[in-house]
Structure 1
């Protein structure tokens, strides 16, 4: 019984297990099926959403206007008042070349670099697009582009540079349309004739001419590779301006050409070995433009491509470009740099100038002087050049940071003395005149452009903080700067536009705005974008004001900028002179005192101007002659500054002074005190200096150097009868005696007091005083430094006795001498015949006895 049950029970369990397994398989199959259906549904929904989104994005896509592919639409340049100033664009910068005339080497270079599968896709390269998507996911949207040549042509012709999904969708949509209407050869032809290559070149044929002076079929491999590398970032890879960048990019192109089988490794190595600048032409093959204001317009183009992307084509996109241009100022700049201008030029074909005029408050560029005969060269010396600034950097890298971080006052004392850099060799540093002036205030040191105080300021601040201060004002510096930078010994250099922008921050109460030429752009579709640069705090207002006040001193007779002064304007300014190194001095036989270039940078509350004068290259005779030999070459930058400023600064607003901020105080300091002491009420006026201090750091201790002088001591006044003199003597403290004089007055009886003398001696005599009179002598000690600082008066009186001779005369008047008796009868005899009366008259004496009697009387 039990065995049978057991068997049935086991059988039942086995059946249940089998049933469960069967049901499990059915459940698993159902789950897979449901999951698949769900994924399909999600995919369909996503597809529908994608299609809807794509349709939404492309609904506003501009039509594929074939004329825009080949016919550029010029852009309008408006000045600061909204008036049309110039038009840029059209065919003037292009040489159109047909596909059949484009060498295969050029095609291979561009395809290997920009779109290696160009002849395989239908406008979109999905493999490349996938890589770009992954890059955008990992590094952010817009990190890497996946555009084909077809898409690039669409973007150049119809769309903006804006990196948005809607724009990418429109780009893809138009790319498909373009591929359906044109052959690959036609698309590539349009692309190579349309892209921008910097250096005023649109299209590959014009680029070959501008950079190398060659036709396309004359280009060498290294030149083709250089041009093929430009479209990614034309201005940054411009071999004229940035040869190092261009060389790196060229070598990448060569590597890509090897990778895709266009050239061999040996050919690439040979091309890499060629110096990037070796076959460049000097720029005279660049096209000239009929438009005015070329230097300014070139800056407009560069700004647009920098801010909106380099595929923006101002000369073909039909833009309305609102700029900061002051046409009258621009015309004056161009006049000053012409042969007809009032400022002389060095008679040398390599001589050049660069000028930047910036609005102090806004940073807006008003005018640019790109160089002499700029229309022919195309190299903008106002924006492209990088020259050592010389002493013009001292406010930015030395004294500005000292005020900002160390709270230096304009009185701060610095000793101008023999000094060295802190390098291992203790290299000496010299002032421009090879002299030393001892203790100077910061004002004196900067206004007189002393190198040694500048280096000391840099050292006290420290290179890191000095660099931070300069970078905040738009000065490009490497991560590590050296002590030689303190006097302008830069590795690279600055442009006039950069220097004018930095100086403007001092005139704008410390607010810095990177200079800009384009304020707004309107696109053909009616949209617009604001491109004005935003302002930021570059320094404290106390720093800005105190440096400005010191640089105003530099414009006076005691400073280096006096030749640039304009009467009636409050100008702060600084000179700068660069130097030849020892190799150049020997190579080019440079005379003593000559310089390769000079600067003048200055500003008012309304305008900031930087002017550079020098040469386009080193060469024999390329130097500015020394003023010590009677030449004015090194003064031309100051003259240009003055001529331009007095032309543009004509309103009452231009004549205002820099505002004194609440963060500074003006204090009367006693000259020579270190640390500074307040002048006392006795400090001589010519010993008081009024200087500015950051509020809270001004001196509080009053100098005692010129306290009220002490009284004369031990005063005596004695009448010496034998000499018939009043002798006056007194004593005084030896430690103050050198700075003291003594005023003596005398009053006789009740008469008026009269000044006898002012003397440095401690004794004085009055000769032949009036007998019987009383003399009152007064002595006052007076500071030689300040006549108002006088001691109390010390008085002594002396009675002059009546001498004996006067007493005898008075006695004779009182007691008359008796006459001898006269014989009344004998009146006919003369007196002379009468015998003497005995006992009346004294016996006769010889002369010696008479003198002895006189001496006895005087002695009595």
Structure 2
């Protein structure tokens, strides 16, 4: 047994020997791994060095002139013609020695606090950015120093690529070798864009605060230091809220890096940014051609990259139609097209190409004298009123439930779901009962809209709207009639409506088609079209919106252009009860009035109102100005342009509906013509049931003819009862014939009796009565009556007749050549057709 077991010492020696062998093998493996990594590293370094060398070789020259002077950008219209060359900048140059220490500290804290410690590239900052870029993707965080920003803004494109960053670093190093830190800082603060065409901190101080640099206070310095990150978005004149938030970030950074105390930071953050800005009436003007449109171009260019439209030497191809833009500006700036109630009355207009989404013209405001001011076409967020109904209510009803234009809705008192007794009301505080979806939309009834969104479902409605470019973080039933919390802009409304006019294809509205950089690089900026709804949804909604403009009951009649197929919708908003009391708002006044509409060529959305809600649009024609603007603009751009009507897709079908049926039923062959509605259905979803309300008309009953010998007249009476006759009255057509002669029409009447005066004595009359309703006719009821003649002597027992001559003929001895009982002026007993009531007839 002892031979089978080893001693503890033997086992230890064996294990030790095994471990040594393992260590030798492991060490050998790691040596191979490290050697491989080392070799790969050398190869990578060599390859990287070669790559960097090639990139550096193509780096632009350090052109000293470009450090100070910007390169202008050209803006082209839709046909490639230059409409503006942006390069002349507003800039008052300031040398380094005149830059206040506080201003310098604010810039350093915000942009590059280690500026005076690096040689153009901040390795500590670079490492942090590299980690962030690996974590979140390249370009997620920048590491550019002030020197690198000077280089980028002077020599390079703004694309976030590895090539550009390497070239930027190389040029920054060169710049640091050639210039002092103070000179580089001076170039930076003078070259920086301060929004629009304003460059440099000295110009910014004068434009925004009306002061010299040495007069600025801490909170004002922080505003200027914060602008370069996004100058147009932080413009304190246009976006004071954004500018104030950015200012407070700068102040926090200044405190963080020890330039100011916490008390100084908090005191400066408490100051309202607008309190020291230059007053509106004293602001420096920056007049540009087509200012409102170029305002959108500038914002759009910035979304496609970190470009400075005023210094980067770009060639920007836009969608502008100069003639349309000029007309829109004239319509807003003057009273030549529209008579405005006062100077404060505002408007925002966007004109699109329906098929492409290209913005043809922008009317930003009625303030011609204010450049780059608040743009009511793109920046405003106002409640849309009833213009939202096709987007949140009726469009989704067609899309998700395949409702036809005939779908019956009842305008009646209703309540919002889950809101107790809160009720939506119509503008006239009345209810009109059952009506088709077409009529409900055209008449802009609120209760039917709310019922529709309740049936569609809020989630479906929100999804539909968001696809049309209407952002909704939340949705509630009052949204159905325009009560949006955040509101929308005319630009967003125009984009949404254009999708209905373009067979369900949506293109985000845009002004910039292409950007060409200085080096010839072309950047395609055109958005792609998206299918956002079925073609039958687009067509049925469009056809209903045509009724809103052209029908006798539509609310948008003032936007109609005769001969032009237009679809569109009005919209007004309401004041709250608290606002009515606070602002003393008169009855019928509204804060906003809209019109959005389109043809197959153009789409336009118009908002009108006042900057401040306490200024109201009084009831009456001023609330129609949005419609008048739309009408005139669409009429102008459509002149001498072929505008085809909207084409029905193969997914829809025409149906003839009987008015008054609920749910809608097909009209029968007996439905009165005036009660037949021609509507549209999604193919395969049309009503199947045919109305039986109007069957073939019954024959008039109890048709009786009685003769009154004393008055010598015939009285015709009959009875008739037909279902539905109360909605469309029945007429009776009475005709007659004498002695089997020709039948002649006596009269048409809604009564159920007729007197025939002075009938021919001894005559045999045959009368017919037919019930009619429109083109429908019943079978005739017939009655015959013989009129007695007392002057005729019956044969006596001797066979003698009443005339005494045995043959019953007049022998002329009585001096009368006519038969007894006949009138001389009507010897044949026929009707006087020109006057059926003539006493000589019969």
- Deviation of the 1:666 alpha carbon: 1.9
Secondary structure of the corresponding residue to residue 143 of structure 2: coil
Distance 1:718 1:201, change over 3 A: same
Instruction: Find the partner of 2:467 among 452, 464, 472.
Output: 472
Distance 1:221 1:725, change over 3 A: same
Asked if 1:139 corresponds to 2:136, the answer is yes
Aligned equivalent of 1:259: 256
Asked if 1:182 corresponds to 2:171, the answer is no
Aligned equivalents of 1:35, 1:43: Cα separation in 2 = 12
- Deviation of the 1:551 alpha carbon: 1.8
- Deviation of the 1:267 alpha carbon: 2.2
- Deviation of the 1:39 alpha carbon: 4.6
RMSD of the alignment, in Å? 3.2
Distance 1:647 1:765, change over 3 A: closer
Aligned equivalent of 1:806: 793
Aligned equivalent of 1:407: 402
Asked if 1:165 corresponds to 2:195, the answer is no
Gaps of 5+ in 1: 1-12, 817-860
Aligned equivalents of 1:113, 1:570: Cα separation in 2 = 56
Aligned equivalent of 1:54: 52
Asked if 1:752 corresponds to 2:739, the answer is no
Aligned equivalent of 2:733: 743
Aligned equivalents of 1:198, 1:443: Cα separation in 2 = 48
- Deviation of the 1:402 alpha carbon: 1.7
Aligned equivalent of 1:833: none
- Deviation of the 1:64 alpha carbon: 1.4
Q: Deviations over 1:610-667 (max 9, x none)?
A: 2222223345xx332221xxxx3222222222222222212342x3211221122122
- Deviation of the 1:586 alpha carbon: 3.2
Q: Deviations over 1:141-191 (max 9, x none)?
A: 222222222222222222222122111111111111111112222222222
Distance 1:408 1:210, change over 3 A: farther
- Deviation of the 1:516 alpha carbon: 0.9
Aligned equivalents of 1:376, 1:737: Cα separation in 2 = 66
- Deviation of the 1:489 alpha carbon: 2.1
Q: How does 1:570-585 map to 2 (within 5 A)?
A: 570-585=565-580
Q: How does 1:64-75 map to 2 (within 5 A)?
A: 64-75=62-73
Aligned equivalent of 2:623: 634
- Deviation of the 1:750 alpha carbon: 1.9
Secondary structure of the corresponding residue to residue 782 of structure 1: strand
Distance 1:242 1:753, change over 3 A: same
Q: How does 1:385-400 map to 2 (within 5 A)?
A: 385-400=380-395
Aligned equivalent of 1:504: 498
Aligned equivalent of 1:797: 784
Q: How does 1:188-587 map to 2 (within 5 A)?
A: 188-198=185-195, 201-239=198-236, 241-281=238-278, 287-289=284-286, 291-309=288-306, 312-339=307-334, 341-348=336-343, 350-379=344-373, 380-477=375-472, 479-556=473-550, 557-587=552-582
Q: Deviations over 1:725-775 (max 9, x none)?
A: 656555545757765444333222121223345455656565665444332
2:333–2:366 contact (8 Å) kept in structure 1: yes
1:88–1:291 contact (8 Å) kept in structure 2: no
Aligned equivalent of 2:83: 85
Distance 1:606 1:624, change over 3 A: same
- Deviation of the 1:517 alpha carbon: 0.9
Aligned equivalents of 2:136, 2:299: Cα separation in 1 = 27
Aligned equivalents of 1:18, 1:674: Cα separation in 2 = 97
Distance 1:733 1:637, change over 3 A: closer
Q: Deviations over 1:33-75 (max 9, x none)?
A: 7666555433322221221111122222111112111101111
Aligned equivalents of 2:724, 2:499: Cα separation in 1 = 49
Aligned equivalents of 2:725, 2:638: Cα separation in 1 = 55
Aligned equivalents of 2:692, 2:483: Cα separation in 1 = 44
Aligned equivalent of 1:847: none
Distance 1:713 1:60, change over 3 A: same
1:194–1:203 contact (8 Å) kept in structure 2: yes
Secondary structure of the corresponding residue to residue 558 of structure 2: helix
Instruction: Find the partner of 1:600 among 595, 598, 606.
Output: 595
Asked if 1:124 corresponds to 2:121, the answer is yes
Q: Relative to structure 2, which stretch is displaced further, 65-74 or 278-287?
A: 278-287
1:283–1:378 contact (8 Å) kept in structure 2: no
Aligned equivalent of 2:698: 710
Aligned equivalents of 1:278, 1:459: Cα separation in 2 = 47
Calculate the TM-score normalised by the size of structure 1: 0.85
Distance 1:792 1:33, change over 3 A: closer
Aligned equivalents of 1:766, 1:387: Cα separation in 2 = 71
Q: Deviations over 1:188-229 (max 9, x none)?
A: 222222233436543333333444444333433334334433
Q: Give the greater-gyration-radius structure (CA).
A: 1
Q: How does 1:31-46 map to 2 (within 5 A)?
A: 38-46=36-44
Asked if 1:694 corresponds to 2:682, the answer is yes
Distance 1:811 1:449, change over 3 A: closer
2:126–2:143 contact (8 Å) kept in structure 1: yes
Aligned equivalents of 1:516, 1:608: Cα separation in 2 = 13
Calculate the TM-score normalised by the size of structure 2: 0.87
- Deviation of the 1:81 alpha carbon: 0.9
Asked if 1:683 corresponds to 2:680, the answer is no
